[in-house]
Structure 1
C-alpha cells in the first residue's frame, strides 16, 4: 500500500485493495453473525461522506451515536471520508448518565450534526433540544441515498484532527483528546509490531466504540490492516461474561482485549463444563489493559483457561491511555513473571525485593514501551528517577496527542512538558509506576493515592481483595476523606436482601479487618451499599472522583454505616 500522509488515505486505499474481503462480522444479542465486505462498507461510507459534505462539515466535529453494528462503522468511516472530525459518543439506549455525557460533549464540541439511525433520530433530537442543542441535525445513516460514487478521498495533513476521543472520566471530567491522522498512523504501526497482526488476523471484542480500546484497537486497527473485525454487543457481555469467550472461540478470533475486571468476571463464572465447551486455541493474544492489571488475575486466568486451549503466553498485560492514542506498552508473548516486592518499600516509592516475614505486593509487568519513550519522573521536581523508583509515568512519541479540545488549561497541565534534564515534549499521564529491566510496572494513580501516616497507599489492590472475599461482597471503592487527620473510607456493595442490623455490622467488620490487614491502618468509616452504587466507566474503571464527591456531599444511601457519612457529620 502506498505510503499515506493521512489515516483517511490509508483506509481508502485498503478498502479499494480489499473490496471482496470480509471486513466485519457483527454479532447480535443472540450471537448471530452478519458479515460485510470492505466493498460494501466503502459504498455506504461514501454515501455518509456525501451527506456530510453537503452540510460542510469538513474540519468540524460530527457526533456519532449508534448501536453496535455496521451502520456505526460506516458512520465513522464516512466522517473520515468527509474530512470531518469524528466524535463517538455513547449509544442511544444507554443510561441517563451516558445521555448527560452526550449532551455535554455536544455542547463542548459545538457540533452541528449527529449521525445515528432512523430508530433513534427522533428521540435523540428531543434529548438534544432538552439540553439546549436543538440546532443539531440528527442524520439517519440507514436512510441516506447511495450517491457517493463521485467522492474522492481528502488529503489531510498529518497534523489535522481525525477524531476526538473522550476520556473515561474516572478521575476527572471527560476531555476530548485531539487525535490526529499522524497519531493514528503511528499507533497502527505500533499495534502491528506489538501484536504481530496482519491481514489474516481476526480482532474482536465487546468494548464500545466510544472507548479508545474498542474504537482504535478493536475496529480501526483491523480495518487498517485489511483484516476482519468481530464486533460483539457489550450488553451481552454484561449479562453473560462468558459469551465473550464463546464468541472468540466460535469465530476463531486471534486478538482480543478487555479490562482486568472482565477477565476476573470470566474466572468467577467459568465452570469445568464451560471450559470443556471452549476452544481458545486460535487466540494468539488476549490483552489485559484499560485499568490496573492484577497479577493474580493474569496468573489465575492463564492457568484456568489453559484447559480450554489458551496458549501459554497469550495473555498479555498492557498499558495505554487516550492521550497516547491507546498504546504505551505491552508485554511480550512470553511475559515475565509478576514482580513480588516489599510492601513497605513500595509505600516509600521503591521496588525492592521482599524481606522474609514482611508484607509483600505482587505487581503485573505491563511490558516494554511500544513506539514511544517512557520516563519515570518525580512529579514535583520533574527529575527523571532511577530504575526501580516509583514516580509519574511520562510519555513522548508520534502517537501522543497534542492536547484536549477547547481545554487550554488542561492541555497545558498534561502536554508538552520537559524533564529537569532538558528532554522536551512529554505527556504527564497522572499514573504512577516504575521501570525495571525495561519492564513497566504500574502502581496506581496520583489522584487515587492515599497518604496515611507518611505512607503512600494505593487502593486498587485493597478493592480487589474485598471483591475476592466471596459472597455477599461485590464492587468496592476505597478513598480518602478530609478530617483532622486524613481518613480512609471503604464503600462496599453487598448483594442480597433481608440483612439484619447485626449481620450488616458483622460484614462491616469483615471489611474493616480486610483493609487493616491490607493497609495496616485504621478506617475512618465503612459504608455498605446496594449493588450498582459504585459508579464505573464504560470500560469498568471505578469513577473514583465521582464516588468521592457523592460521599462528601452525603448523596450515598448506605444500608449500614459504621460511621456517619461525611456530610452528615457537618464536615
Structure 2
C-alpha cells in the first residue's frame, strides 16, 4: 500500500487490495455472526457517501448512532468517503443518560444529520425533537438506494478533521476531541508496532463504537490493516462476561482489549468447568486499558486463564486517552512489568522500594512510550520531574489531536503546554504517573486524587479494596466533598433486601474499617445505596464527577448514611 496522505485514502487502497477477504464479523446478542468482505463493505460505504454528498455533508459533523452491526460500520466509513466528520453517539436502546448525551452532542456540534437503522430512526427523531433538535434529519442507512453508491472517496488533507470522538465523561462533562487524518494514520502505525498486528490478525471485542478503544482499536485498525474486525454487542458482555471470552475463542480472535473491571468480572464469574471448555490459545494480545490497571487483577487473570490456553505475556497493560487518538503506550510481549513500592512513599509521590514492616502497593507498568513523547511534570510549576517521582503525565507526538470541538478555552488549557525548561507541544493529560527505567506507571488522576494529611489517596485503589470486602458489597465510589475541611465520602452499593438499621450500621462499619485499615483514611460519611446507583461510562469507568454532583445535590437515595461522628441520615 502506498503512503497515503489521508486515512480515507489508506482505507480505499486497502479495500481495493483486499476485496475478497473477510473485513467484518458482526455478532448479535445470540452470537449469530454476519460476515462482510471488503468488496461488500466498500459498496455499502459508497452508498452512504453518495447520500451524504447529496445533502452537502462534506466537512460537516454527522452523528452516527453506533451499535456493533454492519450498518453502523457502513455509516462510519460512508462519512469518511464523503468527507463528512463522523460523530459517534450511543445506540438508541442505551440508557436515559446516553440519550441525554446524544442530545447534548447534537446541540454542541450543530450536526444536521444522524445516520441510524430504520428500526431506530423514529425513536431518535422523537428524542431529538424532545431535546429541541427537531431540525436534525435521521437517515436510515439500511434504506438507501444501492445505485447511488457511485463516485470516488473524498481526498481530505492530513490536517482535516476525520471524526469527533467524545470523551467518556469519567471526570468531567464529555468533550469532543477533533481527530485529524494525520492523527489516525499515526496511531495506526503505532498500534501495528505495539500489538504486532498484520493482515492475518483478527481483532475484536465488545467495547462500543462510540468509545475510542472500540472505534479506533477494534474497528478502524483491523480495516486499515486489511485484517478482520470481530464486533460483539456490549449487551453480550453485560449479560455474561464470559461470553466475551467464549466468542474470542470461537472466532479465533488474536487481539482484544477491555478495561480492568472487565477482566475482574471474568475472574469472579469463571469456574473450573468453564476453563475446561475454553480455548484461548490463539489469543496473542489482550490489552488491559481504559482505566487504572490493578496488579492483582493482572496477575490473577493471567494465572487463572492459563488453564484455558492463555499464553504467558498475552495480557498486557496499556495507557491512552482520546486526546492522543487512543494510544500512548502498551506493554510488550513479556509478562506484565510490575513494581512493588512503599505505600506511604507512594502516597507522598515517589516510587520507593518497600520498607520492612510497612504497607506496600504494587503498580503495573503500561509499557515504554516512544522516545521524547512523555514527560512527568509538576502540574503547578511545569517542572520536569526525575524518574520515580509522581507527577502529571504530559504527552506529545503525531497522534496528539487538534483540540476540542468548539471549546477554545479548554483546548488552550490542555494542549500545546510548555515545560519549565522550554519544551513545547505537550498535551496535559490530567493523569498522574511516574517513569522508571523508561516504563510508564499510571497512578491516578489529578481531579480524583484525595489529599489526606499531606498524602495522596487514589480512589481507584480504595474502591478495589472495598470490592474485595466480600458479600453483600457491590460497586463503590470514593470521593472528596467540600465541608469545613475536605472530607472523604464512600458510596457503597449493597446487594439484597430487608436489611435492618442495625445490620446496615454494621455494613457501614465494615466499609469504614476497610478504608482505615488499608489506607489510614477515615471517611467523613459512608453512604450505602442500592445496586446500580454507581454510574459508569460505556467502558466501565466510574463517572466520579457525576457521582460527586449527585451526592452534593442530595439526589442519591441512600439505604443508610452515617457521618464519622455517628450521625444518621435516612
Q: Distance in 1 between matches of 2:530 and 2:336?
A: 39
How many angstroms apart in 1 are the aligned matches of 2:339 and 2:496? 37
1:322 aligned residue: 322
Contact 1:376 1:385 in 2 (8 A): yes
Instruction: Please give the residue correspondences for 1:111-150 in structure 2 after superposition, counting only pairs within 5 Å.
Output: 111-150=111-150
- In structure 2, the residue matched to 1:244 is 244
Q: Indicate conservation of the 8 Å contact 1:26/1:231, yes or no.
A: yes
Partner of 1:228: 228
Measure, in 1, the Cα distance between the counterparts of 2:276 and 2:174.
42
Q: Where does 1:39-50 land on structure 2 (aligned, <5 Å)?
A: 39-50=39-50
Across the two proteins, how many residue pairs are aligned to each other?
569
TM-score (ref. length: structure 1) = 0.98
Indicate if the aligned counterparts of 1:66 and 1:117 stay in contact, CA closer than 8 A: no
Counterpart of 1:433?
A: 433
Indicate whether 1:473 and 2:476 are aligned: no
- Of residues 231-240 and 453-462 in structure 1, the stretch that sits farther from structure 2 once superposed is 453-462
Partner of 1:152: 152
- SS at 2:182's partner residue? helix
Q: Distance in 2 between matches of 1:77 and 1:38?
A: 12
Q: Secondary structure at the residue paired with 2:120?
A: helix
CA distance in 2, matches of 1:239, 1:260: 18
2:557 counterpart residue number: 557
Separation in 2, partners of 1:121, 1:372: 47
Give 1:8-407 correspondences, 5 Å limit.
Answer: 8-370=8-370, 373-407=373-407
1:491 aligns with 2:522: no
Partner Cα distance (1:358, 1:164) in 2: 47
Report the Cα distance in structure 1 between the residues aligned to 2:526 and 2:26, rounded to whole angstroms. 44
- Preserved CA contact (<8 Å) 1:50 1:147: no
Tell me which moved more, 237-246 or 367-376.
367-376
SS in structure 2 of the partner of residue 62 of structure 1:
strand
CA–CA distance in structure 2, aligned partners of residues 6 and 272 of structure 1: 48
CA distance in 1, matches of 2:473, 2:346: 27
Please report how far the alpha carbon of residue 518 of structure 1 lies from its aligned counterpart in structure 2 after TM superposition: 2.0
Determine helix, strand or coil for the equivalent of 2:73.
helix
Q: Tell me, yes or no, if structure 1 residue 533 matches structure 2 residue 533.
A: yes
State how far apart, in whole Å, the 1-side matches of 2:139 and 2:212 are.
Answer: 24
CA distance in 2, matches of 1:237, 1:253: 16
Contact 1:89 1:210 in 2 (8 A): yes
Report SS of the residue matched to 2:147.
Answer: coil
Cα separation, 1, equivalents of 2:551 and 2:129: 32
How far apart, in 2, do the equivalents of 1:519 and 1:368 lie? 30
Q: TM-score, normalised by structure 2?
A: 0.98
Question: Does the CA-based 8 Å contact 1:318-1:331 persist in structure 2?
Answer: yes
Q: Secondary structure at the match of 1:555?
A: coil
Distance across 1 between alignment mates of 2:66 and 2:300: 36
* CA offset digits 1:303-337 (Å, max 9, x no partner): 00000000000000000000000000100110454
Report the 3-state secondary structure (helix = DSSP H, G, I; strand = E; otherwise coil) of the residue aligned with 1:119. Answer: coil
CA distance in 2: counterparts of 1:269 and 1:296, whole angstroms: 16
Moved over 4 A (4+): none
Q: Contact 1:320–1:328 (CA<8 Å) still a contact in 2?
A: yes
Deviation larger for 336-345 or 20-29: 336-345
Q: 1:130 Cα deviation (Å)?
A: 1.1
Contact 2:183 2:401 in 1 (8 A): yes
Instruction: Give the CA deviation at 1:373.
Output: 0.3
Q: Distance in 1 between matches of 2:564 and 2:31?
A: 47
Give the C-alpha shift of residue 242 in structure 1: 0.2
**TM-aligned CA deviation for residue 398 of structure 1:** 0.2
2-structure distance, mates of 1:372, 1:38: 37
Question: Per the alignment, in what secondary structure is the counterpart of residue 275 of structure 1?
Answer: helix
For 1:112 and 1:369, the matched residues in 2 are separated by 39
- Structure 1 window deviating more from structure 2 (556-565 vs 469-478): it is 556-565
Q: Secondary structure at the match of 1:369?
A: coil
- Worse overlay, 90-99 or 479-488: 479-488
Moved more, 159-168 or 143-152: 143-152
Q: Offset at 1:476? A: 0.3
Alignment-derived partner of residue 502 in structure 2 = 502
Q: 1:372 to 1:286 in 2, by over 3 A?
A: farther
> Per the alignment, do residues 337 and 7 of structure 1 end up closer, same or farther by CA in structure 2, a change over 3 Å counting?
closer
Q: Contact 1:59–1:84 at 8 Å: present in 2 too?
A: yes
- Give how far 1:452 is off: 1.1
Alignment partners' CA distance in 1, 2:102 and 2:237: 23
Q: In structure 2, how many angstroms separate the alpha carbons of the residues matched to 1:322 and 1:337?
A: 24
Deviation at 1:150, TM superposition (A): 2.9
Query: Which structure 2 residue ranges, 5 or more long, are not aligned?
Result: none
State how far apart, in whole Å, the 1-side matches of 2:371 and 2:259 are.
22
Q: 1:164 touches 1:177 (CA, 8 Å); kept in 2?
A: yes
Q: Answer whether contact 1:198 1:225 (CA < 8 A) is retained.
A: yes
CA RMSD of aligned residues (A): 1.5
Give the distance between the partners of 1:250 and 1:419, measured in 2 at CA. Answer: 49
- 3-state SS of 1:491 partner: strand
Q: 1:18 to 1:314 in 2, by over 3 A?
A: same
Paired residue secondary structure (1:476): strand
- Does the 8 A contact of 2:465 with 2:514 survive in 1? yes
Alpha-carbon displacement from aligned partner over 1:367-414 (angstroms, at most 9, x marks no partner):
111487000000001010000000000000000002000000110110
Distance 1:84 1:284 in 2: 35
Q: Secondary structure at the match of 1:368?
A: coil
User: For the Cα contact (< 8 Å) 1:372–1:399, is it kept in 2?
Assistant: no
Query: C-alpha displacement at 1:486, in angstroms?
Result: 1.4
CA distance in 1, matches of 2:336, 2:473: 32
